[in-house]
Structure 1
Amino acid sequence: MLFLALFQEAFSHRLPNIVRAMMAAWPFPYIPVGTLLTSGTLEFSQVVVEGLRALLTQQDRPVTGNVRILDFRRVAHEIWTVEAKTEDGDCSTETVSEKQAVKPPPRYEQRQRLKVITDLYSRFQQEEEETDLLPGAQHRKDSLQLCCVNMKIVLLSEDHVIMFRQIFRLWDIEMLEFTLDWNWSSLLRFYPYLAHMKNLHTLSLVWMDKNTYEHAYTSEYKWFVRAFISELSKISSLQHLYMNGICFLSDNMRHLLSQCSKLSKVNFYTNDFSMTVLSDLLHYTANLSKITMEQYPAPQECYELGVVSKERFVQFCPVLMDTLRAIRQPKRVYFATDVCNRCSKRCVYEEETRLCSCLQ
Structure 2
Amino acid sequence: MNRGGKSGILKVFCLKGFIPLLFSTASAYLHVRMSSPPTLQKLARKSLLKNEALATASLKKLPKAFFPPLFKDAFTGRQTDIIRAMVAAWPYPCLPVGALTKTPNLKTLKAVLRGLDLLINQKDRPITCKLQELDLRDAQHDFWNFWVETEDGVCSPDVNNETQPMVHGPRQGEKQVVTVWMNLSLETSHLSKYLKYFYWWAKQRKDVVQVMCPKLEFWATPLYNPLILLEVFEPSSIGEFVVNGCWTLRTLVMIAPGLVQMKNLQKILLNGIFTPLEWFGNHKMVEECITEIIYQIPELKKIQHLQLNNVCFLKERLDQVLRCLESPLETLSITRCSLSNADMSYLSQCPSIHKLKHLDLSGVTFLNLDHLLLARLLERLTATLQTLRLKGCMILDYQISALLPALSQCTQLIEINFMNNFLSVASLKQLLQHTAKLTLLTLEIYPAPDEVYDDIGDVHPDRFNQHCSELMETLRGIRQPKEVCFVSKRCLDCQEFCVYNVATSLCSCWQ
| TM-score (structure 2 length as normaliser) | 0.52
Higher relative contact order, structure no. (Cα contacts within 8 Å, ≥ 6 residues apart): 1
Q: Which runs of 5+ in 2 are unaligned?
A: 1-26, 29-62, 394-417, 422-443, 448-486, 492-496, 499-511
2:390 is paired with a residue whose SS is strand
Does the CA-based 8 Å contact 1:22-1:51 persist in structure 2?
no
Structure 2 match to 1:352: 446
TM-superposed CA distance for 1:92, in Å, is 8.2
- Measured in 2, the distance between the counterparts of 1:197 and 1:173 equals 6
- Measured in 2, the distance between the counterparts of 1:54 and 1:138 equals 14
1:251 is paired with a residue whose SS is coil
1:195 is paired with a residue whose SS is helix
Which residue identity is paired with 1:325? L
Does the CA-based 8 Å contact 1:175-1:202 persist in structure 2?
yes
The correspondence of residues 245-324 of structure 1 with structure 2, limited to 5 A, is: 245-260=310-325, 261-273=327-339, 276=341, 279-285=344-350, 287-300=352-365, 322-324=375-377
Change (3 A) 1:209 1:279: closer
Structure 2 match to 1:332: 387
Structure 1 match to 2:184: 120
TM-superposed CA distance for 1:158, in Å, is 4.9
Change (3 A) 1:355 1:197: farther
TM-superposed CA distance for 1:151, in Å, is 0.8
Farther off after superposition, 131-140 or 239-248: 131-140
- Measured in 1, the distance between the counterparts of 2:110 and 2:254 equals 39
Does the CA-based 8 Å contact 2:273-2:311 persist in structure 1?
no
Matching residue within 206, 216, 224 for 1:141: 206
- Measured in 2, the distance between the counterparts of 1:213 and 1:246 equals 18
Change (3 A) 1:233 1:294: farther
Does the CA-based 8 Å contact 1:216-1:222 persist in structure 2?
no
Does the CA-based 8 Å contact 1:229-1:253 persist in structure 2?
no
- Measured in 1, the distance between the counterparts of 2:184 and 2:276 equals 29
- Measured in 2, the distance between the counterparts of 1:71 and 1:187 equals 29
TM-superposed CA distance for 1:117, in Å, is 1.4
Structure 2 match to 1:341: none
1:142 is paired with a residue whose SS is coil
Does the CA-based 8 Å contact 1:91-1:149 persist in structure 2?
no
Task: After superposition, give the CA deviation of every residue in 1:46-75 in whole Å (9 maximum; x if it has no partner).
Answer: 997687367335323334574332111123
TM-superposed CA distance for 1:299, in Å, is 3.4
Task: After superposition, give the CA deviation of every residue in 1:229-248 in whole Å (9 maximum; x if it has no partner).
Answer: 34223322111111111112
TM-superposed CA distance for 1:118, in Å, is 0.7
Task: After superposition, give the CA deviation of every residue in 1:291-314 in whole Å (9 maximum; x if it has no partner).
Answer: 110111333366xxxxxxxxx9xx
Does the CA-based 8 Å contact 2:358-2:387 persist in structure 1?
yes
Structure 1 match to 2:217: 152
Task: After superposition, give the CA deviation of every residue in 1:157-184 in whole Å (9 maximum; x if it has no partner).
Answer: 45342x2232222111111113565643
Structure 2 match to 1:75: 139
Matching residue within 191, 194, 205 for 1:129: 194
Change (3 A) 1:117 1:215: farther
Structure 2 match to 1:305: none
2:200 is paired with a residue whose SS is helix
Matching residue within 283, 290, 297 for 1:218: 283
Farther off after superposition, 349-358 or 175-184: 349-358
Structure 1 match to 2:501: none
Structure 1 match to 2:234: 169
2:316 is paired with a residue whose SS is helix
Matching residue within 96, 99, 108 for 1:35: 99
| TM-score (structure 1 length as normaliser) | 0.70
Does the CA-based 8 Å contact 1:31-1:69 persist in structure 2?
yes
Structure 2 match to 1:52: 112
Does the CA-based 8 Å contact 2:249-2:273 persist in structure 1?
no
TM-superposed CA distance for 1:202, in Å, is 0.7
Task: After superposition, give the CA deviation of every residue in 1:201-249 in whole Å (9 maximum; x if it has no partner).
Answer: 0111222679969759823323332342342233221111111111123
Structure 2 match to 1:236: 301
1:193 is paired with a residue whose SS is helix
